Amino acid sequence: MMKTIVRKIGLVAHDAMKKDMIEWVLWNSERLIGHKFYCTGTTGTLIKKALEEKHPETEWDITILKSGPLGGDQQMGSRIVEGEIDYLFFFTENIVFCCNRSTADHIISSPLFLDPTYKRIHPDYTNYTQRFENKEIVSEAVERVKKRMSRNENNMIE
């Protein structure tokens, strides 16, 4: 028997795509039962209401963040950076490379979606985060500003 795995799923939808996102979630609700959801404010509120209406007996684990423009996008981003989100389904109005219903269907129908042995690859950003170590960038900037200020003061005196 395969171990049950809980995926942490972010759900975001622009206003013109909210209805499509809700329909997609409802269509796939049986497959999504038991997973943890993080949703931006309005999208999450609408999805939670729709899921509770379709499955009144199911307790959904949904964290509703702030509305996207009021900080929810940043909250979602921070959870992605911290590794708290396994999948982000973002239905957008005008960005082609983001997720839509067909790619979302493809992802959750993949055998990897529920495979407990599948581990998401977390890139090592050590080189990036340490790129300024052992560099005198701050002291050099401070010295340049001091020199400019000194020149400006000298020019004002003359």
Residues with a catalytic annotation lie at 73
Can you tell me the distance from the alpha carbon of 130 to that of 157, in angstroms, rounded to the nearest whole number?
Answer: 43
Q: Tell me if 20 sits within 8 A of 50, measured CB to CB.
A: no
Can you tell me the distance from the alpha carbon of 31 to that of 46, in angstroms, rounded to the nearest whole number?
Answer: 19
- Closest C-alpha among 39, 24, 47 to residue 73: 39
Cα torsion angle, 120, 42, 44, 14, sign: negative
- Closest C-alpha among 32, 33, 43, 156 to residue 105: 32
